[in-house]
């Protein structure tokens, strides 16, 4: 019984971290940034809000990424069909390998967006904003595919 409660807790945390990260991306891309763009004429006030929001979201995303990696390792080790990290020996492992590859790519995009776009913003604010928006859209698309692969692997 204790093992089952532990598994449920790990699964719950994995799902929570996923919802926070990917849900946050979708909310940011679909609701927050478009709404803020409509009020761009407010200038410094909007910039201050965006900077504050970015700092908080960076922390939330970092915690979610770390949590996903930790809980993901625990979940994968429990699955009988799991053949190892990026192993493609069976359908379950292939789906997980694809999912893990996309999560790695999402992590790289998130880090790149956080580090590079913020620095680039000081030199080229308009280009930086466009690059940030493109990277956000890329990560939203990757996140949706990851969610699909998660559902697919759960059905196997």
pLDDT at position 43 is: 64
Which pTM value belongs to this model? 0.85
Residue 119 contacts residue 133 (beta carbons within 8 Å): no
* Minimum mean pLDDT range among 28-37, 88-97, 101-110, 115-124: 115-124
Q: pLDDT-based confidence at 150, cuts 50/70/90?
A: very high
Residue 147 contacts residue 18 (beta carbons within 8 Å): yes
Q: Where exactly are the structural domains of the chain?
A: 2-155
Which segment, 104-108, 109-113, 128-132, is predicted with the most confidence on average?
A: 104-108
Residue 127 contacts residue 20 (beta carbons within 8 Å): no
Instruction: Give percent helix, percent strand, percent coil of the chain, each to the nearest 5.
Output: 90, 0, 10
CB atoms within 10 A of CB 4: 8
Over residues 55-99, the pLDDT tens digits come to 888 899 899 999 999 999 898 888 888 888 888 999 999 999 999
Distance CA 59, CA 124 (A): 25
Q: Which two tokens stand for residue 123?
A: 């030199």
DSSP 8-class letter at 43: T
Averaged over 116-127, what is the pLDDT?
77
């Amino acid at each position: 019984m204790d093992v089952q409660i532990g598994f449920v807790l790990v699964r719950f945390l994995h799902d929570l971290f996923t919802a926070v990260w990917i849900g946050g991306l979708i909310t940011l891309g679909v609701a927050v940034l478009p709404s803020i763009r409509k009020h761009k004429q407010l200038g410094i006030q909007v910039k201050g809000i965006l900077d504050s929001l970015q700092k908080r979201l960076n922390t939330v995303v970092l915690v979610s990424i770390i949590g996903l990696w930790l809980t993901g390792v625990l979940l994968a080790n429990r699955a009988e069909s799991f053949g190892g990290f990026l192993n493609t020996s069976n359908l379950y492992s292939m789906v997980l390998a694809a999912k893990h590859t996309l999560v790695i790519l999402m992590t790289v995009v998130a880090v790149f967006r956080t580090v590079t776009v913020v620095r680039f913003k000081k030199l080229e604010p308009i280009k930086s904003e466009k690059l940030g928006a493109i990277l956000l859209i890329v990560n939203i698309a990757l996140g949706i595919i990851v969610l699909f692969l998660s559902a697919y692997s759960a059905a196997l």
